[in-house]
Amino acid sequence: MTLAVVIILCAVGLFFSLSGVVGILRMPDVYTRVQCSSKTITLGALPLLAALVVAEGPVSPYGSRALIVAALLLIVNPLASHALVRAAYKTGVPMWSGAVADEPAEQRANDERADDD
């Protein structure tokens, strides 16, 4: 029973990790790639860590370390992704030609128009 749960959790985790990597390889610009690396990779890593917790028990050395890594991933991965995208936008990495929204630029344009009036 435990083995079946562990195998299912590992399969789900590896599927999402693989789909995140395909997204990082195939997405057209850096902003969409960061989306894959933050959301999908987190969703892929958490079932794998849960599989380790289920297999070894939460108070074993492996299970407790897996829980610590999961908490760290949940806290710091969005933070690092946000900082990276912010740095990419400020250094002027171009968006994909099909992008439909650039809200900071629109905001700046609105402010300049208000200054002119």
Partner 1 sequence: MTDVYAAVCIAELLIVGLLLIRLARGPSVTDRIVALNTISTQCGLAVLFFAAFADRTIYLDVALWLSSFSYLGAIVWARYLERGLL
Residues that bind partner 1 (CB under 8 A): 3, 6-7, 10, 13-14, 17-18, 20-22, 24-25, 30, 33-34, 37, 41, 45, 48-49, 51-52, 55-56, 61-62, 65-66, 68-69, 72-73, 76-77, 79-80, 83-88, 90-91, 93
Inter-CA distances, 31 with 17, 19, 20, 36, 106, Å: 18, 17, 14, 9, 18
Minimum CB–partner distance for residue 18 and partner 1 (Å): 6
Minimum CB–partner distance for residue 76 and partner 1 (Å): 4
* Cα–Cα distance, 97 to 87 (Å, whole number): 20
Least Cα distance to 16 among 63, 38, 53, 64 occurs for 38
